């Protein structure tokens, strides 16, 4: 396609529905993506009307902040490596070990559990297990006075939380490697180990790079885990920025600190999206050869893989079991007698948080779903000037670490002209623009599979562009719409990194209450809240899946997976 | 309801898909846009539909200037190559879609949709899903969906390309029959010369964004104006010959040692490219008649209904078809070729 010609201008100008949709999206993007980011940059770099690098230099010269930056990068690298290795173990097992379908489904369920859980779940269980009165450290190993805080526990919790991303990235790539390639190498006389090293792994290299970068970004942006498990000895950038603002009310310093995070985050984002994301050696040709059970896996290796997966799965299951158990006893470790008191607490004292969270999720869900489908449709189907720019801007809040987005919103919407701080709408807006890009991408992917002539037929039959969208396009991309709904809902229930800056006395969130409980060492209610969130998310996702299954859209399959994207 | 194109140009960025074409489609006729892929025929059709807007020029439908109107605003319906049936609607809902969009009440739309389905022979299929129909049936639903709107012009974009050969013949007969019964104005796009000849009142042959020639199927087959057309409209042998004018209506064409009198009012005297239709070559065993062209069989293939021969002659290697299969000639046989004047065409160089 050539550059947007005068043709596309004319066409847009003649279609009032399209024109107003494009304008509306741009106004929203300007207001909720560009404006907060500009305000954040201005706060950090403009002093009395002059641009200055002072705050940034101050941070770099501060030894404590330098350590936080180094810690952040070291943690992200460790989690990236460990998570990719773990994700590869699971993906390779799922694809090659020849496990039965039911086993694979069970494996999937356990692996994906961390992705739909509130952020502290693993952290709570690690404290229960490895704390001074921990189940493993104290009861089983007889160690006293162990600290569960620091690099190792943070890295463990993040690895277990984020390795499913690597699993989801690597599994389709490994599945698409043609077994014939390996069989060919086998018939040429290569040993199994040699084939694995020289054929299988090299073919998956772009997948490894992609998985590593995604994990690196996730860990870099993670705020909740290091806040709980990092302790004083292991400060990282997002927690430092948070403390700078909530502890010292130093907006300028917090803004500058969060922007230090922006550099590696942006670097990784562009590397992932424009370099690694487009390199793949595995192509889907539609030509399916004889898919004989591959022989490239030795029996003992298969057993080892399954055993490894089982061990990790058991650890995850143990952590979640512990969480449920801890929510049902008086004080885990000290008094293990059964009680429903914690649930009583969350449904009385904690009720406002539950109510607020559900209201915000309920408002954000349809808005986010519709916004995602609309933007995805415009990007995939309409040729208008500025289309690529819209695609990029719509992705910004999704790619930025939550800390940056949260501080940006806090600064931008604190004062008139648009004072939203303290209300519910600022939290809703934050969720919608941060988590709808999953819906946008799902919509774009689905639309690429739907023949354009369907929409042309509709307009040729006399339907306007709004009507065509509503009656033809929307029903066909319903699965992307519901995937978008699902993601916005899940994140509304579980996110904290951005919204921690946006809660107020009148509007608070379950995740924030969990954090408060943890800092007050009220671990029982924290566990009960977590269990509640997991149950609600599970019910809603199951309901959405059931709705989706009723749609006879041609490509409804595969949408379930996109629930978990991001 | 005629369609009139005046100096239409369509550019995409720097490439020009259609370079200044003008033509007219008369009311109640079926006109085919024929040409190889990439010749601009589909772009032209989409400009009639309003799915593409021309960069320059003027389009009129039924005497009204529609150049800048969108597809929605034009009284034109299109049948797509892929049928483009809405997969989330039943057959009846598909056919009623356009009626409902033009503001017709539900009962009336349903009644007209059922009528449309009856017209294409699909009574009782209304409650099915498009995916439950065969290719030919889906094609008919697509036709019914476009037809019920009673559009000024009905457009077909390669409607038969997804069907197998047998069904293709049947469907093209049905489309032609429907068009004549309802006196529809139809513009039809195809790259298949036989299909074009079977359905059309007039054919517009396009090549590289321009109109190469237009006329009735017979005109185009018997009097192709250019070597491209001679090749494209059916098979033909390009041969080098000498033209000598006999009178205003006839020329004498010399090919090797043979001379043929051909009806032609425009060819110039001198060396010319001559297209010889394979079915116009009568193959006889040598020596044959006095005015025959001598040759040697280079290749012979048996195709059941006829024989195909490649024959080396003084005018070049000629490809001939011969209905006599009971006594085939073998490679190396000396033959004499008699050329029927109707299958010898002088083309411009």
pLDDT digits (tens, 9 = 90+) for A507-544: 888 888 888 888 887 888 888 888 999 889 888 888 88
Interface of B with A in 106-135 (CB under 8 A): 129
The rounded distance, in Å, linking the Cα atoms of B31 and A286 is 38
What's the Cα-to-Cα distance from B167 to each of A207, A354, B119, B124, B145, rounded to whole Å? 47, 63, 18, 21, 20
Cross-chain CB nearest to B98 (options A451, A462, A475): A462
Looking at beta carbons, which residues of chain B come within 8 Å of A10?
53
Q: Where in chain A is the domain with CATH 1.10.3720.10?
A: 15-52+345-562, 56-118+146-183+191-282
Give the pLDDT score at A283: 47
3-state secondary structure of B27: coil
Looking at beta carbons, which residues of chain A come within 8 Å of B53?
7, 10-11
The rounded distance, in Å, linking the Cα atoms of B235 and B246 is 28
Residue ranges of chain B whose pLDDT lies below 50: none
Cross-chain CB nearest to B88 (options A451, A464, A553): A553
| B105 CB-side CA count, 13 A | 2
Q: Where in chain B is the domain with CATH 2.40.50.140?
A: 237-347
3-state secondary structure of B32: strand
Looking at beta carbons, which residues of chain B come within 8 Å of A456?
49, 51, 71, 78, 80, 84
What's the Cα-to-Cα distance from B292 to each of B242, B311, B339, B345, rounded to whole Å? 16, 13, 8, 18
Q: How confident is the model at residue A553 (pLDDT cuts 50, 70, 90)?
A: very low
- Judged by CB atoms closer than 8 Å, whether chains meet at A14 and B80 is answered as no
The rounded distance, in Å, linking the Cα atoms of A373 and A480 is 7
CATH 3.40.50.300 assigned to B3-222? yes
- Judged by CB atoms closer than 8 Å, whether chains meet at B98 and A461 is answered as yes
Q: Which of A94-108, A307-321, B222-236 has the lowest mean pLDDT?
A: A94-108
Give the pLDDT score at A563: 41
Pairs of CB atoms within 8 A across A/B: 81
Question: Domain A15-52+345-562 - what CATH class?
Answer: mainly alpha
The single-letter DSSP state of residue A198 is I
- Judged by CB atoms closer than 8 Å, whether chains meet at B13 and A451 is answered as no
Give the pLDDT score at A126: 86
Looking at beta carbons, which residues of chain A come within 8 Å of B42?
none
What's the Cα-to-Cα distance from A322 to each of A136, A158, A315, rounded to whole Å? 11, 18, 10
Within 8 A by CB and 6+ apart from B224, the residues are B213, B230, B232, B233, B275, B345, B347
Q: What is the mean pLDDT of residues A44-52?
A: 75
The rounded distance, in Å, linking the Cα atoms of A89 and A488 is 30
Q: Where in chain B is the domain with CATH 3.40.50.300?
A: 3-222
- Residue B259: burial class (beta carbons within 10 Å; 0-12, 13-18, 19+): middle
The structure tokens listed for A561 are: 């997976």
Mutation target vs A (from B42, B80, B83, B130; most A CBs, 10 A cutoff): B80
- Judged by CB atoms closer than 8 Å, whether chains meet at B72 and A463 is answered as yes
Give the pLDDT score at A5: 52
Nearest residue on chain A to B69, judged by CA atoms? A14
Mutation target vs A (from B8, B71, B189; most A CBs, 10 A cutoff): B71
The rounded distance, in Å, linking the Cα atoms of A507 and A119 is 20
Give the pLDDT score at A561: 40
3-state secondary structure of B201: coil
- Judged by CB atoms closer than 8 Å, whether chains meet at B97 and A461 is answered as yes
- Judged by CB atoms closer than 8 Å, whether chains meet at A456 and B84 is answered as yes
| B198–chain A nearest CA distance, Å | 26
3-state secondary structure of A249: coil
Q: Which of A202, A138, A139, A144 is nearest to A174 (CA)?
A: A202
- Judged by CB atoms closer than 8 Å, whether chains meet at B72 and A553 is answered as no
The single-letter DSSP state of residue B267 is P
Q: pLDDT > 90: what percent of chain A?
A: 5
Nearest residue on chain B to A550, judged by CA atoms? B88
Looking at beta carbons, which residues of chain B come within 8 Å of A467?
101
Please provide the DSSP assignment of B133-170 as one string: S-HHHHHHHHHHHHHTT--SEEEEESTTTTS-HHHHHH
How do residues A355-365 score in pLDDT, each as one tens digit? Answer: 988 998 999 98
Question: Dihedral sign, CA of A546, A551, A557, A563?
Answer: negative
Give the pLDDT score at B204: 94
Q: Tokens 């040697």 map to which residue?
A: B296
Q: What do you get for the CA distance between the two ends of chain A, in Å?
A: 30
- Judged by CB atoms closer than 8 Å, whether chains meet at A459 and B13 is answered as no
The CATH number of A56-118+146-183+191-282 is 1.10.3720.10
Long-range contacts of A191-200 (CB under 8 A, 24+ apart): A192/A296, A192/A297, A192/A298, A192/A301, A195/A296, A196/A296, A200/A174, A200/A296
Q: Is A11 on the interface with B (CB under 8 A)?
A: yes
The single-letter DSSP state of residue A469 is I
Q: What is the mean pLDDT of residues A198-214?
A: 79
Let me know: does B125 contact B95? Beta carbons within 8 Å: no
Please provide the DSSP assignment of A72-138 as one string: HHHHHHHHHHHHHHHHHHHHHHHHHS---HHHHHHHHHHHHGGGGS-TTHHHHHHHHHHSTT-IIII
Q: Which of B300, B302, B262, B267 is nearest to B280 (CA)?
A: B262
The rounded distance, in Å, linking the Cα atoms of A114 and A110 is 8
Residue-averaged pLDDT of chain A: 80
Nearest residue on chain A to B73, judged by CA atoms? A462
Cross-chain CB nearest to A554 (options B14, B51, B87): B87
Give the pLDDT score at A281: 54
Q: Is A58 on the interface with B (CB under 8 A)?
A: no
How do residues A245-276 score in pLDDT, each as one tens digit? Answer: 877 777 777 788 888 888 888 888 777 767 66
The structure tokens listed for A15 are: 């279609």
3-state secondary structure of B222: helix
The CATH architecture that domain B237-347 belongs to is Beta Barrel (2.40)
What's the Cα-to-Cα distance from A497 to each of A212, A232, A493, B212, rounded to whole Å? 21, 19, 12, 67
Pairing mode, if any, of strands B270-276 and B281-285? unpaired
Give the pLDDT score at A562: 39
Q: What is the largest CA-CA distance in chain A?
A: 78
Within 8 A by CB and 6+ apart from A149, the residues are A229, A230, A231, A232, A233, A234
Q: How confident is the model at residue A278 (pLDDT cuts 50, 70, 90)?
A: low
| A365–chain B nearest CA distance, Å | 24
Give the pLDDT score at A557: 37
User: ipTM of this predicted complex?
Assistant: 0.80
- Judged by CB atoms closer than 8 Å, whether chains meet at B51 and A460 is answered as yes
The rounded distance, in Å, linking the Cα atoms of B179 and B141 is 16
- Judged by CB atoms closer than 8 Å, whether chains meet at A459 and B71 is answered as yes
Pairing mode, if any, of strands B56-61 and B30-34? unpaired
Q: Is A141 on the interface with B (CB under 8 A)?
A: no
- Judged by CB atoms closer than 8 Å, whether chains meet at A460 and B70 is answered as no
3-state secondary structure of B26: coil
Mutation target vs B (from A460, A464, A471, A550; most B CBs, 10 A cutoff): A460
The rounded distance, in Å, linking the Cα atoms of B232 and B221 is 9
| Residues pairing with B297 in the sheet | B311
| Between A109 and A287, the higher pLDDT residue | A109
Count, in order, helices (H) and strands (E) of chain B: 8, 20
- Judged by CB atoms closer than 8 Å, whether chains meet at B80 and A7 is answered as no
| Between B157 and A557, the higher pLDDT residue | B157
Cross-chain CB nearest to B149 (options A2, A461, A464): A461
- Judged by CB atoms closer than 8 Å, whether chains meet at A456 and B88 is answered as no
- Judged by CB atoms closer than 8 Å, whether chains meet at A553 and B129 is answered as no
Mutation target vs A (from B56, B72, B162; most A CBs, 10 A cutoff): B72
Long-range contacts of B114-120 (CB under 8 A, 24+ apart): B115/B148, B116/B144, B116/B145, B116/B147, B116/B148, B117/B91, B117/B92, B117/B141, B117/B144, B119/B144, B119/B147, B119/B178, B120/B144, B120/B147, B120/B174, B120/B178
Mutation target vs A (from B51, B54, B139, B148; most A CBs, 10 A cutoff): B51
Give the pLDDT score at A555: 39
- State residue A289 phi and psi, 5-degree precision: -80, -175
Looking at beta carbons, which residues of chain B come within 8 Å of A4?
none
Looking at beta carbons, which residues of chain B come within 8 Å of A5?
11, 13
Interface of A with B in 407-466 (CB under 8 A): 451, 453-454, 456-465
Interface of B with A in 45-84 (CB under 8 A): 49-51, 53, 55, 68, 70-72, 76-78, 80-82, 84
Looking at beta carbons, which residues of chain B come within 8 Å of A481?
none
Q: Is A14 on the interface with B (CB under 8 A)?
A: yes
The rounded distance, in Å, linking the Cα atoms of A558 and A200 is 25
Mutation target vs B (from A13, A453, A462, A548; most B CBs, 10 A cutoff): A462
This prediction has a pTM of 0.73
Give the pLDDT score at B41: 92
The rounded distance, in Å, linking the Cα atoms of A377 and A18 is 11
| B148–chain A nearest CA distance, Å | 10
Does A165 score more than 50 pLDDT? yes
The rounded distance, in Å, linking the Cα atoms of A534 and A76 is 26
Q: How confident is the model at residue A287 (pLDDT cuts 50, 70, 90)?
A: very low
Q: Is A19 on the interface with B (CB under 8 A)?
A: no
């Amino acid at each position: 396609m050539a550059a947007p010609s005068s043709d596309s201008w004319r066409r847009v100008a003649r279609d009032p529905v399209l024109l107003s949709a494009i304008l509306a999206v741009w106004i929203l993007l300007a207001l909720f993506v560009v404006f907060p980011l500009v305000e954040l940059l201005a706060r950090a770099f403009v002093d009395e009307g002059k641009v200055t690098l002072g705050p940034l230099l101050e941070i770099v010269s501060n030894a404590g902040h330098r350590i936080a930056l180094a810690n952040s990068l070291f943690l992200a690298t460790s989690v990236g490596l460990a998570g990719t290795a773990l994700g590869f173990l699971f993906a390779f097992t799922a694809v090659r070990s020849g496990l039965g379908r039911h086993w694979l489904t069970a494996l999937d369920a356990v692996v994906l559990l961390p992705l739909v859980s509130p952020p502290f779940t693993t952290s709570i269980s690690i404290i229960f297990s490895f704390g001074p009165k921990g189940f493993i450290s104290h009861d089983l190993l007889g160690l006293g006075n162990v600290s569960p805080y620091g690099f190792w526990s943070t890295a463990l919790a993040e690895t277990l939380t984020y390795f499913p991303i690597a699993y989801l990235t690597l599994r389709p790539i490994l599945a698409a490697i043609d077994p014939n390639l390996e069989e060919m190498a086998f018939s040429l006389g290569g040993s199994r180990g040699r084939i694995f090293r020289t054929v299988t792994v090299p073919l998956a290299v772009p997948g490894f790079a992609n998985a590593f970068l995604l994990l690196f970004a996730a860990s870099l942006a993670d705020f909740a885990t290091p806040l709980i498990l990092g302790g004083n000895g292991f400060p990282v950038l997002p927690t430092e920025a948070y403390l700078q603002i909530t502890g010292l009310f130093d907006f300028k310093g917090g803004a500058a600190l969060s922007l230090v995070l922006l550099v590696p985050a942006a670097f990784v984002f562009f590397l992932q999206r424009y370099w690694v994301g487009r390199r793949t050696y595995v192509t889907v040709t539609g030509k399916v050869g004889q898919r004989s059970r591959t022989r490239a896996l030795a029996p003992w290796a298969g057993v080892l893989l399954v055993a490894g997966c089982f061990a990790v799965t058991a650890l995850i299951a143990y952590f979640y079991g512990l969480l449920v158990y801890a929510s049902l006893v008086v004080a885990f470790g000290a008094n293990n007698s059964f009680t429903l008191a914690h649930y009583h607490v969350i449904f009385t004292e904690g009720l406002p948080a539950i109510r607020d969270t559900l209201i915000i999720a309920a408002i954000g869900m349809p808005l986010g779903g519709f916004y995602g489908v609309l933007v995805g449709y415009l990007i995939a189907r309409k040729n208008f000037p500025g289309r690529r720019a819209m695609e990029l801007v719509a992705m910004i809040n999704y790619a930025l670490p939550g800390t940056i987005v949260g501080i940006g919103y806090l600064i931008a919407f604190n004062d008139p002209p648009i004072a939203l701080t303290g209300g519910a709408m600022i939290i809703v807006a934050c969720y919608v623009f941060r988590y709808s890009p999953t819906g946008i991408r799902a919509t774009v992917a689905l639309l690429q599979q739907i023949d354009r002539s369907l929409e042309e037929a509709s307009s040729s039959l006399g339907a306007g562009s709004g009507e065509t969208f509503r009656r033809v396009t929307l029903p066909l991309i319903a699965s992307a719409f519901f995937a978008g709904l699902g993601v916005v809902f899940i994140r509304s229930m579980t996110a904290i990194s951005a919204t921690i800056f946006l809660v107020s006395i009148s509007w608070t969130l379950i995740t924030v209450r969990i954090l408060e409980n943890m800092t007050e060492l009220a671990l029982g209610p924290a566990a009960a809240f977590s269990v509640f969130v997991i149950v609600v998310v599970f019910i809603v996702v199951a309901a959405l899946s059931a709705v989706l299954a009723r749609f006879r859209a041609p490509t409804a399959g595969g949408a379930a997976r996109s629930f978990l994207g991001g | 309801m005629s369609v009139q194109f005046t100096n239409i140009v369509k550019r995409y960025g720097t490439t020009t898909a259609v370079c200044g074409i003008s033509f007219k489609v008369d009311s109640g006729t079926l006109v085919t846009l024929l040409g190889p892929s990439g010749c601009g025929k589909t772009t032209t059709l989409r400009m009639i539909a309003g799915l593409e807007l021309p960069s320059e020029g003027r389009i009129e439908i039924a005497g009204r200037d529609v150049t800048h109107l969108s597809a929605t605003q034009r009284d034109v319906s299109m049948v797509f190559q892929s049928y483009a049936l809405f997969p989330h609607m039943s057959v009846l809902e598909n056919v009623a879609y356009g009626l409902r969009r033009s503001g017709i009440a539900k009962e009336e739309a349903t009644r007209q949709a059922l009528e449309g389905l009856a017209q294409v022979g699909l009574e009782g299929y209304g409650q099915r899903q498009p995916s439950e129909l065969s290719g030919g049936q889906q094609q008919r639903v697509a036709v019914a969906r476009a037809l019920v709107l009673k559009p000024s012009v009905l457009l077909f974009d390669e409607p038969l390309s997804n069907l197998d050969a047998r069904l293709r013949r049947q469907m093209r007969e049905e489309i032609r029959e429907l068009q004549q019964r309802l006196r529809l104005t139809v513009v039809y796009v195809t790259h298949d010369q036989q299909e074009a000849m079977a359905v059309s009142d007039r054919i517009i042959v396009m090549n590289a964004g321009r109109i190469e020639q237009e006329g009735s199927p017979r005109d185009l087959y018997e009097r192709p104006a250019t070597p491209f057309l001679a090749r494209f409209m059916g098979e033909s042998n390009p041969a080098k010959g000498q033209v000598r004018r006999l009178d205003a209506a006839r020329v004498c064409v010399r090919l090797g040692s043979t001379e043929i009198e051909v009806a032609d009012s425009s060819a110039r005297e001198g060396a010319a490219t001559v297209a010889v239709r394979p079915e116009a070559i009568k193959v006889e065993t040598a020596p044959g008649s006095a005015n025959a062209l001598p040759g040697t069989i280079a290749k012979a293939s048996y195709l059941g209904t006829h024989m195909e021969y490649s024959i080396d002659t003084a005018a070049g290697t000629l490809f001939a078809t011969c209905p006599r299969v009971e006594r085939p000639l073998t490679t190396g046989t000396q033959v004499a070729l008699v050329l029927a004047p109707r299958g010898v065409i002088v083309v411009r160089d």
